[in-house]
Structure formats: C-alpha cells, structure tokens
Amino acid sequence: MLSRIGRWIDERAHLSELWQSQMVDYKVPKNLTFPYAFGVMAIVAFAIQIISGIFLTMYYQPNIHTAFDSANYTIMKEVPFMWLVRHVHAAGANFFLAIVYLHIFTGIYYNAYKKPRELTWIVGWVIYFVLLVTALTGYLLPWGQLSYWGMVVTAEIPTSIDSAPIIGSLKIGETISILMKGGYEIGQVTIGRFFGLHIWLLPLILLALVSFHLYLVRAAGISNPEGREIDKKKEGVPFHPYITLKEGAYLMGYLAVFFFFVFFYMHHFLPADNYDPADPFKTPAHIAPEWYLLAYYTIFRSIPDKFLGFVAFNLTLVFLLILPLLDFSPIKSARNRPLFFIMFIVLVISSMALTILGTMPPTPTNAMLGLIFTAGLFSFFIALPIISIIEWGWYKAKGGEKQ
C-alpha cells in the first residue's frame, strides 16, 4: 500500500528524478576532507534552532515583567520536557556559531572565496553577519542580569562614533543606540522589537540566504582541497553514496558531542549569573559579550581611542567581506601556498588569543596584548596583496602552469 502511494506521488512529483540529478549524478572531488563536513553540520544546527525555537515561542512571554519567569519557571519547571528544549536551543546557538566559525576558517584555508566562488563567499558573509545579529537579539530575551547588562554595553558601543573629530557633532552614534534600544533605556519596546526580530524576520532572512548559498555551492561546485578544478566526469565521485555516508558519520559524531553538553555541561551555556532577574540598579562586576563576539570586543577595548576601536573591529568584518579582492593570487589552497599558510596560522592564533583576552579584566597588560594580537589579525589581511604579487611571479616563472 505504502509503495503504491509512493509510486503515485513519484509519478507526479518526479522525486526520484530529482534525487538522481541532485545527489547521484552530482559529482564532487573524491578527496574531500573532514572540514568539508562543517557545512552540513551548520545546516543541521540551523534546523535544530528553528525547531526548538518554535516550541519555545509557545510559552515565552516578551514582557519585561513576565519574560524572566516564563523563561526560568514556566519553560524550565512547569511544562514537561521544555527544559530540554531550552537546553537544546541555548547549546545549539553556541554550537551553531562554533561550526560557522570553523566553516569560515576552512573556506579561508582552502581559498574557497576565489573564482568562481566569490558570490558564494559574499552570501556566506551575509549569513554570518545576520547570524550574529540573531544571536544578539536572542541573548536579551531571558531578561536576566547578564542579558540586560550585556545589551546595555552593546547598545553603547555605537556612541563611540560621536567621539570622531568631524562627524561626532552629528550624534550618529547616539541615534543608532536609541534605535537599538527603542528609546533612552532598555525596556518593553526593546524586548518587543528583539523578540519580533529573533523569531520572525531574522530567521526568514537566514532561511532565504542559506537556500541561496546552497544553490551557489551547487552551481559553482565544491572546491578541491588540492586547489585545482577537477574534471568531474573523470575525477569526480557521486555525492551519494560516497559523500553522504562520510558526512553522515561525521554528523553522528557531532550530534553525540552536542547532546553530551546538552545533558551534562549546560552551565557553559546558561551561566548562573543569568538566573538573577534583570536589575537596572545593580551592575555586575565584569560584563563581557558571549564568546563569539569576544575577539571584536577585545579589539574595541584595547585601542585607547574608542572611535578608532569601533572602526577597527568593523574593519575586520569588511576585510572578511572583500577577501576575494585582497587575495588575487592564481594559486589556490594553503597546501600550495607556504607564505599564505604562515599568515593563516598567524590569523588563527591571533583570533584565539583575542577571544581568550576578552574573558579577562581590562588591565594595561591585557590591553597591550590585545593591541599585539589585533596587529597580528590585521597583518593577515594586509599581507594578502603582497603574497598575491609574489605568487604571480612564481606562477609566471612556471610558464603559467595551473596548480
């Protein structure tokens, strides 16, 4: 009976033909490594966030008087198994961003931003930016002490623009801050706006962007770890079953680690300080953003001039966006580029150091270290055009031989 229904649907929807063309006939490099599975992991993490978020919206109340109780009493204690849904959503947000960061570094290492994949990289950057905004809006919703004061600090960062010598008098930063908060202080308007953005607008934008990103990946093809385009008819292997089985195994490992943290180490994602309701008259001793923003936060606070600090951490995002323009070398993949590989290591070490420094108090020593590693981070982007010029010389010396 079920097989007859399946055949009836297939005759009209042509699902088997779609599967054949998109999964079996689609050829990819046979030497794809483990980091290539981060894209699939990110899709699964996104799906987990959407599903768990839908259940949480059924019981969460976006009101400054009831938000804390709805998140920490109704959801965590009254409704059966909703504590698990919240754990999955809170841990999932952190895992999602961790996977996205690994996916970005993988793309940089294998030069997945080069022709013909520039548009794929740009759309991926937009996904990353929207994802950060989504995480920021969701962070306020539990209405705990860390949530409230973290948003207070975040909303004040744009006011650094007003310390600029020329445009400061226009009070652009203050205007941005007021728009973020919906007024001169964080309150009901703020949480209402953030709730709407977090559960409706931003997820819909992410869904559209992710769909377009996947289309571009299929249109341009998956990059080869060796840095050369393959002849898919001679060297490629079917995406299914070769890659689906391999990435499926990686995905099972990812989910095992994810649920291990969900059940046994949730204090990493739901800190005890955020179980105190928001109090505008009681400032926590040390306020810092979530780990996925710590590198930008360290860059901002390490530079004495706050306007220059604001420009610096935003410039990091701009450099990531224009990476295809900065790196115009004809050679692809860090495997074939020793100078690029050295600078890539500098980028990774600097990013990790800036993240760690963001968890520490803002002492003069930490500020100096922050400046040093900020310089290391920017040196990667500044070095790319120089490395590209040098590699163009190597490329021509070899008679233009493709790598």
CB atoms within 10 A of CB 263: 11
Burial 288-318 (b: 16+ CB within 10 A, else e): bbbbbbbbbbbbbbbbeebbebbbbbeebee
Mean pLDDT of 180-201: 92
Q: Reply yes or no on whether the pLDDT at 70 is more than 60.
A: yes
Q: 279: alpha, beta or left, given left = phi > 0 and alpha = psi -120 to 50?
A: beta
Using pLDDT thresholds of 50, 70 and 90, give the confidence band for residue 29. confident
Q: What is the pLDDT of residues 255-265, one digit of tens each?
A: 999 999 999 98
Which residue ranges make up each domain of the chain? Answer: 31-279, 288-403
Mean pLDDT of 390-403: 70
Please give the backbone phi and psi of residue 144, each rounded to the nearest 5 degrees, phi first: -95, 180
Report which listed range, 25-29, 214-218, 270-274, is most confident: 214-218
Q: What percentage of the chain carries pLDDT values higher than 70?
A: 97
Same CATH fold, 288-403 and 31-279?
no
Q: What is the pLDDT of residues 92-136, one digit of tens each?
A: 999 999 999 999 999 999 999 998 899 999 999 999 999 999 999
Say yes or no: domain 288-403 is CATH 3.40.50.2300. Answer: no
- Would you state the pLDDT for residue 400? 67
Q: Reply yes or no on whether the pLDDT at 403 is more than 50.
A: no
- Would you state the pLDDT for residue 233? 67
Q: What is the pLDDT of residues 343-382, one digit of tens each?
A: 999 999 999 999 999 988 888 999 999 999 999 999 999 9
Using pLDDT thresholds of 50, 70 and 90, give the confidence band for residue 402. very low
Report which listed range, 45-54, 284-293, 385-394, is most confident: 45-54
Q: Reply yes or no on whether the pLDDT at 151 is more than 80.
A: yes
CATH of domain 31-279: 1.20.810.10
pTM: 0.94
